[in-house]
Amino acid sequence: MNNSEISGFVNIIKPTGMTSSDVVVKIKKILQTKKVGHLGTLDPAASGVLPVSVGRATKFFDYFLNKDKIYIAEVYFGKLTDTLDSYGEVLEKNTLPVSYNMIESVLSKFTGEIFQTPPKYSAIKINGKKACDLARENKNFEIKPRKINIYSIKLIREIENNRFLFKVHCSAGTYIRTLFNDIASAFNTFATTEAIIRVKSGYFDMETAITINELEQTKKVLSIQEIFSTAKTIDVNEDHAKKLINGVSVRVKELNANIDNNAEFFAKQNDKLIGFYKNENGMTKQIVYLY
């Protein structure tokens, strides 16, 4: 297979200090291919799972955009920085003691559907420009609150005075730095998230993740179907293939395959993937076009 034909996913462990775009540039060089993109930004100060798509797999960007995430976070209460992480300039400190019980008493207010205002030092676009760039230029701008979902927050342990370790399961678009500063505000203090590790992003987790050095050695790219291992792949005839390629919905029962309602599946003809679909009330709904 030529490098230009590589398609699939790389589950990379992004190191602290690198941007997600930096990782993409490195992968392009390692795999000697141009069509590469990450599936969800990690802050430079954060590390952990960064799913990266290659070739035709880049078409799954929108699909993965809204997948859940799981993070481990080390949070210090009583220090505020302009970026809400350890990379920022310290703005304020206090000596208010924060206890395990104080934190536990307010966590329920920050679970479920809540509104969150993303931090100014973020990749949010404001009139086509990143908020973090505007913040560095000392420009005045406003970021509107948006709805997120916090499925669970677990207080793992107290590391030392005012320093705690948490596990957060949340929807896409959640800013962990903001979440913990908002939590701190519930008992009249502030917080800096000093370390963030993303341990799961959609189907990708730390168990199957590799470092950039390991990718250099192995050139390991997971096939599209490896990532969607629970999704069926069905062969379709020429007539159905033409319809699906042209975006025409087909009755699932005509495909002679047992696909449950709302189940996702791949369609292929002559060993070539046509696309990724969903059985929506007995009709095929195209999720990703792959032909």
Among 171, 290, 170, 152, CA closest to 228: 290
- Which amino acid is located at 101 in the chain? N
Q: Residue 200: which residues within 8 A CB-CB, separation 6 or more?
A: 49, 68, 69, 70, 206
Structure tokens at 132: 């973090």
Question: Contact at 8 Å (CB) between 261 and 279?
Answer: yes
Q: How far apart are CA 125 and CA 145, in angstroms?
A: 14
- Decide if 43 is catalytic: yes
Q: How far apart are CA 165 and CA 159, in angstroms?
A: 7
Q: How far apart are CA 183 and CA 265, in angstroms?
A: 41
Question: Contact at 8 Å (CB) between 73 and 168?
Answer: yes
Structure tokens at 237: 């005839």
Q: How far apart are CA 150 and CA 148, in angstroms?
A: 7
Catalytic residue annotation: 43
